[in-house]
Structures are given as structure tokens and as C-alpha cells.
Amino acid sequence: MHLARTRFLFFLAFFACALIVGATFYLERVVGNAPCPLCLAQRGLFLACAVICLAAVLHAPRMSGWRVYSGLLLLPSLTGAALAGRQVWLQAAPPENLAACLVNQQYLLDTQPWLKVLWMILAGTAGCSEITWSLFGISLPEWSLLAFAAVSLFAMYHLLIDFCQFRSIDIDASD
């Protein structure tokens, strides 16, 4: 019974991540919000989370396999939470502290080493600090931070629940 419930929960996580990626494409193509480099990185991390969850659903492993998928899911979700937190911080920072807008990202990747481009993306740009869309007074990076936090908690739940059950077995055992 636990395995079927876990498979369903991973499917729900996949569905949520896929909806988020679809919503970002909608906001880009239909509404016209051009994503900044941090937004594109977060989109890629949501896509990675969706792929990991879909692989877990299709594979349907035993308990140790679910822990492996949870560990794999934790990596992009925590990275995404860090990037979203960085973007929320950039939005709260005064605009004069931000770097100038980056030139075309593909041009940078063609002409610069990828580590330098990554550093420039993480440093933030003026485009990353603009609030172009909000829902209920919460900006898109704040929603992204909440979603990444939820996915991270979901992944940690599967890692920690088994650890707590294992610890309770050890404590109750008498020597």
C-alpha cells in the first residue's frame, strides 16, 4: 500500500512541476513576459524535477529506490530554491546596486567560458530585479521559491520518514 501511495505522490509532484513549466511558457509566449537568466535556470530545474518524478513513477521501485529518487529530486529542488531566493533578494535590493543587463545569453555562451557566464547569471542583472507579473501580490520568483520549497519538503519527507521509522525500531529494541 505504501508503494502505491508513494507512486501517486510522485505523480502529483510531476504534474505540479509540469504545470509550472507550462505556466512559464504561457507567460512567456502569450502574456509576453521575457524570462531573465535566473528565470530560465529555474525553469530548467523545474523541468529536471518533473523528469525525475516521472522516472520514479514509471520505474516504480521498491523502498530503497524511492529513497534514491527522493535524493535525486532534492538536488535540483534545493538548487532551484537557492536561485529563486537569490532572485527574491535581487528584487528587494535597490536598483542602483544591480549590474547592467546582460547581452544575449547565447552570445555569452559562444564567446565566454561557461563558468564565467554562470557567475554572471548568478550575480544578477537589472532584468532579474524587475517585477513584471504577480498573483495575489506575490511575484513570480516568490511563487517559484514556494514551489521549490514544497518539492524539497516532499523529497525530504521520503528520506526522513524511513529514517524515523528505522530509528524507532532501534529504540524500541531491548538488548
Amino acid at 106: Q
> Nearest CA to 6 among 80, 64, 81?
64
Domain that holds residue 59: 2-169
Amino acid at 92: A
Q: Is 120 part of a structural domain of the chain?
A: yes
The neighbour count for residue 33, using CB atoms within 10 Å, is 16
Regarding predicted confidence, which is higher, 166 or 132?
132
Q: Is 34 part of a structural domain of the chain?
A: yes
80-100 as b/e: b if 16+ CB within 10 A = bbebbbbbbebbeeeeeebee
> Nearest CA to 87 among 50, 123, 117?
123
- pLDDT tens digit sequence for 132-149: 666 677 677 787 888 899
Q: Please check the confidence at residue 103 and state whether its pLDDT lies above 70.
A: no
Q: Is 24 part of a structural domain of the chain?
A: yes
Q: Is 52 part of a structural domain of the chain?
A: yes
Percent of the chain topping pLDDT 70: 67
Please tell me what DSSP assigns to residue 95. Answer: G
Percent of the chain topping pLDDT 90: 10
- With a threshold of 0.75, does the pTM exceed it? no
Q: Is 153 part of a structural domain of the chain?
A: yes
Q: Is 112 part of a structural domain of the chain?
A: yes
- Looking up residue 24, the CATH number of its domain turns out to be 1.20.1550.10
Q: How many domains does the chain have?
A: 1
Q: Is 175 part of a structural domain of the chain?
A: no
